[in-house]
Homo-oligomer: A and B are copies of this chain.
C-alpha cells in the first residue's frame, strides 16, 4: 500500500454526534505481519507461526501497532476531513489477536463534539473506531480525541 495524499472536504460544520463512517476492507497476510514486525515489533509471536505456537498467541499474530496503523489508513480514507484526521490522544485495546487471512475494516462513530472555549473555529470530536475482521469480530477498539475545524471564509 502506497498512495497519494488523502484529502477530504468535511468540516466541523458537517459532522454530528451519531454519524458513522465505514471504511473499505484491507486483506492481511503473513508477509505483511512479518514485514511490519521486523521493523517495529520483532517479537517471536509476530515473526514466525512456528515460534508463536508456545506463546500466549498460540500462532502468528500481528503486532497491535500494525493493527493500529492499518486502522489509521482505513480511517483517513473513510473520514475525509478537510484539515486532516489529527489525534490529540487515544485509548486502544485489542480484544483478540489479528491473524493472517483476516480481512480488516474500520467503523467509526462520532460519540461527542466539544467546542473549544478559547478557539471558536475548533472543536474536539471523540470517535470510537472498531476494527473488525470478516466475521465481525472486534480486533481493536480505539477511542480518539480529534481536532476539527470550522469551514473558513
Contacts and interface: CB of A to CB of B under 8 A. Distances in A.
A91 B93 contact: no
B5 A70 contact: no
The 10 closest A-B pairs by CB, nearest first: A89-B93, A40-B69, A5-B44, A2-B38, A43-B84, A65-B69, A40-B73, A3-B42, A41-B72, A6-B42
A7 to B, nearest CB: 7
A-side interface mostly: mixed
A83 B55 contact: yes
A17 interface: no
Contact of A91 (B76, B83, B90): B90
14 contacts: A1-B38, A1-B39, A2-B39, A5-B43, A6-B43, A7-B44, A40-B70, A40-B73, A43-B85, A64-B87, A68-B68, A89-B94, A91-B92, A92-B92
Interface string A43-85: 1110110010001100000011100111011001000000111
Contact of A84 (B2, B45, B83): B45
Nearest to A145: B93
Copies of this chain, count: 2
B68 A5 contact: no
A88 interface: yes
A27 interface: no
Contacts of A5: 42-44, 47-48, 51
